[in-house]
Structure 1
Amino acid sequence: MYLGLDLGTSGVKALLMDGAQIVVGSANGHLDVSRPHAGWSEQNPADWIRATEDAVSALKAAHPVEFAAVRGIGLSGQMHGATLLDASDTVLRPCILWNDTRSHLEAARLDADPRFRSITGNIVFPGFTAPKLAWVKANEPDLFARVAKVLLPKDFLRLWLTGEHISEMSDSAGTAWLDVAARRWSPELLAATDLGEEHMPSLVEGTAPGGTLRPDLASAWGLSGDVVVAGGAGDNAASACGMGTVGHGHAFVSLGTSGVLFAATDSYLPNPESAVHTFCHALPATWHQMGVILSATDCLNWLSGVTGKSAADLTASLGDTLKAPTGVTFLPYLSGERTPHNDAAIRGAFVGLGHESGQAALAQAVLEGVAFALADNLAALKAAGTTLDRVTAIGGGSRSRIWLKAIATALGLPVDLPADGDFGAAFGAARLGLIAATGADPLAVCTAPATAETIEPDAGLADAYADAYGRFRALYPAVKNAGH
């Protein structure tokens, strides 16, 4: 049996999987986020342990015999968080989370240093870990002086599980301290934030052992023998392991609150100018590129709030047959945009409204706007050398067939829908636990689920969509300039 632990922002998920990769069961522990000031987002690391214990206890109670056979544990977690420890591993302050924006000035200062983009292959975003430490040094200098170790959230959980300071490549790539091509810490970039390698955990690959469960904890959980804890992965790379998106050119599009276009690559292909994330993957000698749009299903939920119609009703009103764009264009920048613009100040817009533009036209434009924003992501990945021939759709928005038809046509790619199952980050973490504990071939373990359905681009609407995408592309600079 193998246990996957996914430390998210709103909870910890524990998933139990057998050696044939059949999911036995899962359970969750709840987490809250503290926002003491505007733009701040924090959690107490002790709550992560409590939520993990809650999830594990529930899973063990539901499946006691199977749980007792656990031999490997994999970890997945929310990325970028700054967990600060003193020399005795005491937590110095609440963890500053991925969606905390207080360090935007520090991020801009670090990003202006050309070494960061050159070595990491990425823009230094405010959500990354390095600018958070620069903020702590500037605003909490006495506390900064006591920092002995900086851990990412899942690696603090590992410290509790194993007693060791260890991280892995995929999560560490989101700190702005990793030499992403060489897969090692950069002393040069650490020094730029007045830190050294001694402040960092040691590094392993995500598929490699990254510690062993403490004997006292194993005893408390009713486990015997050595239980290996895998290196694990950041949440997006763990989800990719769960989806089998690990081979070169394999990709998924995630339609959640935000949108993600994730592509695995077998070489390092940075493109920071287009705000593409280029990170190490959880498998050795593998990287991934990721374009991010900040509002995906959030856009439909916003329109739902404005119209008083549910998101399902809005999409249902469009029918099952994809229609040509109406001339109404929606820019989905409700909270700024990441890829390709890296513009926190830009905001959304409807353009081309007429007396005839009713609720259905607005709903259609919203779906198209998100699809075109994902097409922007695809163009950014292509500019970095990644070519895709299809994508798999995941996330809540993928339940809308009409939206997937719009995305397939906007991207010019077939969109596969996986068969029902749990293929998320906790499942990917459990797969990494299996690999680390048994030495199994990662590519043989991290296979893709069966495809239940494929949605092809609508060739008859290709020209109309190309014209509409041209209008979409032209509007960003116009709206940006109008706002200044």
Structure 2
Amino acid sequence: MFIGLDLGTSALKGIVIDEDQRVRAEATAPLSVSRPADGWSEQSPADWIAAAEAVFDALAAALPLDAVRAIGLSGQMHGATLLDAADEVLRPSILWNDTRAHREAAALDANPAFRRVTGNIVFPGFTAPKINWVRDHEPRLFERLAKVLLPKDYLRLWLTGAHVAEMSDAAGTSWLDTGRRDWSDDLLAACGLDRSHMPDLIEGSEVSGQMRAGLADRWGLPRDVVVAGGGGDNAASAIGVGVVRAGQAFVSLGTSGVLFAANDGYAPNAATAVHTFCHALPETWHQMGVILSATDALNWFAALAGEAASQLTADLGALVAPSRTLFLPYLGGERTPLNDATIRGAFVGLEHATDRAAATRAVLEGVAFALRDCRDALAATGTSIETLLAVGGGSRSDYWLQVIATALDTPVTLPVAGDFGGAFGAARLALMAATGAGAEIATPPEAARTILPDAGLTAAFDAAHSRYRAAQSAIKGLT
């Protein structure tokens, strides 16, 4: 058997799969986010360990773990977890959706070497600018800094005692030479760091270390259990849904929104604000457009409306023409294609006819139009989408998927019931590490159904997207 752990922003999930990749057990432990100042987003690494312990407790209670051969890791990307020489945590981890370092990011991005070497803009949420923020605002703490780890790799340290990262997650730090799949000494130096501050690098399907004997004994695992490199959350999710070759793509409707496409080669175009990262498999890459608020936007509006998000979407009925009211989902800044940490969201075109249903539709449509912007940015890099799967909590809304299919004029396939996300992909990477299997095991799940664009409404959605882009330009002028 094989365990996959996915360290998300709101929860840590664990699953157990067998040799045939059937899920045998699963468990989840919740996590909370601290926001001590505007634009800040932090978590305590101790909470990650407590959540992992709770998940292992639940998995061990569900079935014996004495046949487990390997553990794979997935997790939220970009987080800056700072350790001293004794591996003690120096401060709460600064998360992916924290935008405090937007000035530091702009300063690093002004150095042409960063885009040239990493293939990406230096976004405020990436790891490197956060380190420069710490250096400038918490200098005494910076002086004690010995290691920088990404969130899932702090779990690895707890599990194995090893400082190790893998390529897909490391590509989101702004320190990786993404084409060469190695740390860049010059980019590290720009942040006052060197290789001694960095974990070792491996591929996601390779072995990173062996589980500590005390932890293995605690939950009844064999003492020779290995821990795979794993993958950043989106790369691991891609392994889970079988998006590993050019032309394959998925849309993820989670806290953030992602349009993810696999690539057979390395072809960056940083100016589009598309992320070009290493995939979790050797000699493969991927590109993705990222929006910072997807279900986060719907949940925000649901709280405002005093109704559950699921009920708001269930009440909508059949797809109709886009609302005259527009919603721009920039609640905490935006990445693709705007690269703007200071832009904020807005309802535009509010009128007497804007009732709760119209406002709900506007929120769903606004997220879909933001994803369409990502699709257009991907196309500008030469990346095409032949198949599109939908995953994440938002994919439970057929109305939302119909909106996305029509806004992008692309069929959206929904997998059969089951979780094929980051935890499942991490378990697949564990299977690869333990058995030597390759990408052939990362097959797409069986399709439950495919939601087609509504041909009668595509022109209306095209027109609404044009109005959305005009509103976007107006909002940018106000922030």
Same fold (TM over 0.5): yes
Partner residue in 1 for 2:68: 70
Change (3 A) 1:308 1:114: same
- Match for 1:5: what amino acid? L
Look up the equivalent residue of 1:458 and give its one-letter code.
Answer: D
Check if 1:474 corresponds to 2:470: yes
Structure 1 position 361 matched with structure 2 position 361: no
Q: Give the corresponding residue for 2:426.
A: 429
- Give 1:234 shift: 1.0
**Secondary structure of 1:430's partner?**
helix
Give matches, 1:220-235, under 5 Å: 220-235=218-233
What residue is the counterpart of 2:371 in the other structure? 374
- For the aligned residue pairs, the C-alpha RMSD in angstroms reads 2.1
User: 1:358 Cα deviation (Å)?
Assistant: 4.1
Describe the SS at the equivalent of 1:460: coil
Report the counterpart of residue 9 of structure 2 in structure 1. Answer: 9
Structure 2 SS opposite 1:15: strand
What is the CA-CA distance between 1:255 and the residue it aligns to? 1.8
Distance 2:195 2:467 in 1: 48
Partner of 1:51: 51
Instruction: Note the C-alpha offset of 1:309.
Output: 4.8
> 1: distance between equivalents of 2:79 and 2:133?
13
Give the direction of change, closer, same or farther, for the CA distance of 1:351–1:126 in structure 2 (3 Å limit): closer
Distance 1:113 1:252 in 2: 32
C-alpha distance in 2 between matches for 1:124 and 1:225: 41
Structure 2 residue identity aligned to 1:269: A
- How far apart, CA to CA, are the structure 2 residues paired with 1:209 and 1:77? 17
Q: 1:298 to 1:223 in 2, by over 3 A?
A: closer
The alignment partner of 1:459 has SS state of coil
1:453 aligned partner: 449
Quote the Cα distance in structure 1 between the aligned partners of 2:151 and 2:51: 13
Amino acid at match of 2:471: L
Confirm whether residue 203 of structure 1 aligns to residue 201 of structure 2: yes
Counterpart residue number, 2:247: 249
Change (3 A) 1:221 1:105: same
The equivalent of 1:194 in structure 2 is 192
Contact 2:39 2:332 in 1 (8 A): no
Q: Give SS of 1:338's match.
A: coil
Deviation at 1:24, TM superposition (A): 0.8
Preserved contact between residue 99 and residue 341 of structure 2 (Cα < 8 Å): no
User: 1:383, CA displacement in angstroms?
Assistant: 0.5
Q: Distance in 2 between matches of 1:25 and 1:290?
A: 31
Equivalence map 1:201-350=2 (5 Å): 201-320=199-318, 322-350=319-347
When normalised by structure 2's length, the TM-score is 0.94
- How far 1:259 sits from its partner (Å)? 1.6
Query: How many residues in Structure 1 have an aligned counterpart in Structure 2?
Result: 479
Larger mean Cα displacement after TM superposition, 351-360 or 102-111: 351-360
Give the residue type in structure 2 aligned to 1:259: G
- Deviation, 1:38, is 4.1
**Alignment of 1:405 onto 2:402:** yes
- What is the CA–CA distance in structure 1 between the aligned matches of 2:79 and 2:174, rounded to whole Å? 12
2:145 pairs, out of 134, 144, 147, with 147
The change in CA–CA distance for 1:272 and 1:2 in structure 2 (over 3 A counts) is same
Map of 1:21 onto structure 2: 21
Structure 1: 5+ residue stretches without partners: none
Indicate which of 116, 119, 134 corresponds to 1:118: 116
Q: Which moved more, 1:158-167 or 1:300-309?
A: 300-309
Question: Partners of 2:401 and 2:59 in 1: how far apart?
Answer: 35
Does the Cα contact within 8 Å between 1:389 and 1:414 map onto a contact in 2? Answer: no
Aligned to 2:94: 96
**Cα shift at 1:189:** 0.1
The residue identity in structure 2 corresponding to 1:336 is: G
Which amino acid in structure 2 is aligned with residue 29 of structure 1? Answer: A
Q: Distance in 2 between matches of 1:82 and 1:316?
A: 38
Pair 1:420 & 2:417 matched: yes
* One-letter amino acid of the structure 1 residue matched with residue 213 of structure 2: P
Q: Residues 125-167 of structure 1: CA distance to partner in whole angstroms, max 9, x if unpaired?
A: 2221111211222223333223222111211221222222211
Amino acid aligned to 1:446: A
Q: 1:152 to 1:329 in 2, by over 3 A?
A: closer
Aligned to 2:25, the other structure's residue is in SS state: strand
Per-residue CA deviations over 1:358-389 (Å, capped at 9, x if unaligned) read 44433333332222111111000100111012
Which deviates more, 431-440 or 53-62? Answer: 53-62
The Cα offsets for residues 220-260 of structure 1, whole Å up to 9 and x where unpaired, read as: 33333522211111111111111111121211111223221
Q: Structure 1 residue 60: deviation in Å? A: 0.9
- Number of the residue aligned with 2:174: 176
Equivalents in 1 of 2:324, 2:41: separation in Å?
39
How far apart are residue 289 of structure 1 and its match? Answer: 1.2
The 10-residue stretch of structure 1 (83-92 or 335-344) with the greater mean CA deviation from structure 2? 83-92
| Contact residue 78 and residue 173 of structure 2 kept, 8 A | yes
CA drift of 1:37 comes to 4.0
Distance of aligned partners of 1:206 and 1:475 in 2 relative to their CA distance in 1, 3 Å threshold? same
User: Aligned pair in 2 of structure 1 residues 42, 474: CA closer, same or farther (>3 Å)?
Assistant: closer
Q: CA deviation at 1:288?
A: 1.4
Asked if the contact 2:328/2:345 (under 8 Å) is kept, the reply is yes
Q: Distance in 2 between matches of 1:30 and 1:318?
A: 30
- Tell which deviates more after alignment, 359-368 or 257-266: 359-368
8 A Cα contact 1:324 1:465, kept in partner: yes
Any unmatched runs of 5+ in structure 2?
A: none
Q: Mean Cα displacement is larger for which, 422-431 or 99-108?
A: 99-108
Normalising by structure 1, we get a TM-score of 0.93
Q: Is the 8 A contact 1:329 1:369 kept in 2?
A: yes
Q: Secondary structure at the match of 1:167?
A: strand
Q: Which moved more, 1:372-381 or 1:141-150?
A: 141-150
Identity score, percent: 64
